[in-house]
């Protein structure tokens, strides 16, 4: 920003009660704005997007070279494994289903999805926006954290602590038994 000599371009008229206050050299209209909190997408956002794109791709390639995706024997409807397990993210549900098929497999997942969809229409007070774990949102955040932790525990139990006939097993014991 550089000041231009106003006297030359806009001489003051003594009859007027108002006058041009300042001329500023700049590239954007900044009238009435607080100090600029915005940055241009080009290049600030785009460069970050490129960095994430490249690093995610690179990490995947490295992982793919060293860790093989599982592949078991060809599918055989006559050879059921015991226990047969769903993909890991459904093992929390499978764990619930082992207690009650209707409640665990239908009612609870239905409720979870319904409540998730309704969240922004139930909790509308404009506090704690854009701030991690804001004090004003302690209750909402605690409830959601509890939900995540319970799901995580169920998935861990379903993945590591369930053996034949969905009986409780301790993973390190199961390894010894082999």
Partner 1 sequence: MDLKISAVKTYLNDVFRSIFRYGKMPRDAEGQSFAVFNNLFLHIHPVKVTRHSLKPTYTFGLGLISAVLFLVLIFTGVWLMFYYIPTVDEAYNRMLDLRSSTNFGFVLRNVHKWAAEAMVVFVILHMARVFFTGAYKPPREFNWVVGVFLLLLTFGLSFTGYLLPWDQLAFWAITVGTSIAGYVPVMGEDIRSFLLGGDIVGQEALIRFYVLHVVILPGLMLVLLGVHFWRIRKDGGLAHPSENEDASAGGGE
Region 26-45 residues binding partner 1, contact defined as CB under 8 A = 27-28, 37-45
Q: How far is the CB of 76 from partner 1 (least distance, A)?
A: 7
Which span sits near partner 1 by CB under 8 A: 1-9, 12-20, 105-113, 168-176?
105-113
Which span sits near partner 1 by CB under 8 A: 1-9, 14-22, 115-123, 167-175?
115-123
Which span sits near partner 1 by CB under 8 A: 1-9, 10-18, 131-139, 170-178?
131-139
| Among candidate residues 152, 158, 122, 156, the one with its CA nearest the CA of residue 137 | 122
Near partner 1 in 147-166, by CB under 8 A: 148
Near partner 1 in 62-101, by CB under 8 A: 63-65, 67-77, 79-81, 84-87, 89-90, 93-94, 97, 101
Q: The tokens of 43 are what? A: 């290049």
Given the complex with partner 1, which of 20 and 45 has the nearer CB atom? 45
Given the complex with partner 1, which of 20 and 100 has the nearer CB atom? 100
Helix axes 91-99, 108-122, angle to 10 degrees: 120
Which residues share a beta bridge with 24?
3
| Cα distance from N-terminal residue to C-terminal residue, the chain | 76
Q: Which residues contact 162 (CB under 8 A, 6 or more apart)?
A: 83, 85, 95, 98, 168, 169
Q: Which of 24, 33, 116, 150 binds partner 1 (CB under 8 A)?
A: 116
Q: Which of 133, 146, 167, 170 binds partner 1 (CB under 8 A)?
A: 133
**What is the distance, to the nearest Å, from the Cα of residue 122 to the centroid of all Cα atoms in its chain?**
20
Q: Distance between CA atoms of 177 and 163, rounded to whole angstroms?
A: 12
Given the complex with partner 1, which of 20 and 47 has the nearer CB atom? 47
* Residue whose structure tokens are 């926006």: 129
């Amino acid at each position: 920003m550089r000041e231009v000599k106003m006297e030359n371009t806009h001489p003051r008229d003594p009859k007027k009660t108002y006058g041009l206050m300042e001329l500023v050299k700049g590239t954007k209209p900044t009238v009435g704005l607080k100090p600029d909190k915005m940055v241009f997408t080009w290049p600030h956002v785009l460069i970050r997007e490129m960095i994430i794109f490249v690093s995610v791709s690179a990490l995947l390639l490295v992982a793919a070279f060293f860790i093989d995706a599982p592949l078991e024997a060809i599918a055989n409807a006559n050879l059921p494994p015991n226990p047969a397990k769903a993909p890991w993210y459904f093992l929390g549900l499978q764990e619930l289903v082992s207690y009650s098929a209707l409640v665990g497999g239908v009612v609870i997942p239905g409720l979870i999805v319904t409540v998730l969809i309704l969240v922004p229409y139930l909790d509308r007070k404009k506090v704690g926006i854009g701030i991690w774990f804001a004090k004003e949102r302690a209750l909402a955040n605690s409830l959601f954290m509890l939900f995540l932790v319970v799901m995580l525990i169920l998935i861990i139990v379903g993945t590591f602590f369930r053996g034949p006939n969905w009986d409780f097993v301790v993973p390190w014991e199961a390894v010894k038994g082999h």
